[in-house]
Amino acid sequence: MQTAQSLTSMSGLPRLEARMLLEMVLCKPREWLLAHDTDPIAPEAAAQFLTLAAQRRQGTPVAHLVGHREFMGHRLSVSAEVLIPRPETELLVEMALQSLPDGAGLSLLDLGTGSGAVAISVALARPTVRVVATDLSETALALAQKNAQQLEARVQFSQGSWYEALPAEGRFDVIVSNPPYIAHSDPHLSRGDLRFEPVGALTDGADGLSALRHIIAGASQHLIAGGWLWLEHGYAQGEEVAHLLLRAGFNAVQTKQDLAGLPRITGGSL
């Protein structure tokens, strides 16, 4: 009879990934697995685990196999229709929260919300703030809506391309976005976990900066005076994004580094 311990070593996966798959197959939390790693595991469960482990070895992201990913301490459902939320995007949420004291009448716009990770995290941390989230993809929005319901986050969703998703009137205190910023010629698009994610969430189909340019160019029509725009970008795009913000009339332009020490989030105020 196999055990969690023997299955983990048979799987050929990093221990953490094997544990995540075992948790799902056995419907048990991490603590249980750690305390029972030499208990016998039913043959059907062992077979199911080994099938998932083979899929993982062939490249399917763990988040797709287990159907969820943790972000800012919240469990978000994910699918092949949305970007898997990344740890570095938590910095985008932190910058938004720093620019947004909890207060009735304040508002935030999340452009390209995907799974809803950023909008939902802000809505849960600032329950009195009006949070609006948009995406071009209807399937992404449906999943984001489901995540918001499950986590009891109050977010208003709207479908469309960038600012076109919004009604004409109304300005926001903060706008955030993690748009597709990988250049279409970047070889990373055909490597690793990226192969399994929606191409429209990863690349702008151009030089990687076209969505960022569009969002910056339109921001002054959708932000209040003194409002903040925070953008996630590639590690080599910080300087260019800062230039674009300065040229669009933003003040206090600054770039923040992610946990790996790479320039990742740039923002400024109008």
Ligand X SMILES: C[S@@+](CC[C@H](N)C(=O)[O-])C[C@H]1O[C@@H](n2cnc3c(N)ncnc32)[C@H](O)[C@@H]1O
Least distance to ligand X from the beta carbon of 20, Å?
19
Least distance to ligand X from the beta carbon of 265, Å?
11
- Residue carrying the six token digits 């976990």: 193
The nearer residue to ligand X, 9 or 161, going by C-beta atoms, is: 161
What per-residue string of b and e applies to 121-150 under the rule 16 or more CB within 10 Å gives b?
Answer: bbbbbbeebbbbbbbbbeebbbbbeebbee
**Residue 107 phi, psi (nearest 5):** -145, 155
Least distance to ligand X from the beta carbon of 44, Å?
35
Question: CA 92, CA 232: separation in Å to the nearest integer?
Answer: 7
* Count of C-beta atoms within a 10 Å radius of residue 11: 20
The nearer residue to ligand X, 179 or 208, going by C-beta atoms, is: 179
- Residue carrying the six token digits 């340019």: 213
Least distance to ligand X from the beta carbon of 134, Å?
6
* Count of C-beta atoms within a 10 Å radius of residue 152: 10
The nearer residue to ligand X, 22 or 117, going by C-beta atoms, is: 117
Least distance to ligand X from the beta carbon of 269, Å?
21
Cβ contact 221:167 at 8 Å: no
Q: How far is CA 28 from CA 21, 23, 31, 37, 63, in A?
A: 10, 5, 8, 12, 17
Question: CA 45, CA 52: separation in Å to the nearest integer?
Answer: 11
The nearer residue to ligand X, 11 or 177, going by C-beta atoms, is: 177
The nearer residue to ligand X, 201 or 241, going by C-beta atoms, is: 201
The nearer residue to ligand X, 33 or 144, going by C-beta atoms, is: 144
Least distance to ligand X from the beta carbon of 31, Å?
28
Least distance to ligand X from the beta carbon of 77, Å?
13
The single-letter DSSP state of residue 206 is: S
Question: CA 55, CA 61: separation in Å to the nearest integer?
Answer: 9
Binding site for ligand X (CB under 6 A): 82-83, 85, 89, 112-115, 117-118, 134-137, 140, 161-162, 178-180, 200-201
Least distance to ligand X from the beta carbon of 89, Å?
4
Let me know how many helices (H) and strands (E) the chain has, helices first: 11, 9
The nearer residue to ligand X, 66 or 136, going by C-beta atoms, is: 136
The nearer residue to ligand X, 61 or 114, going by C-beta atoms, is: 114
**Residue 145 phi, psi (nearest 5):** -65, -40
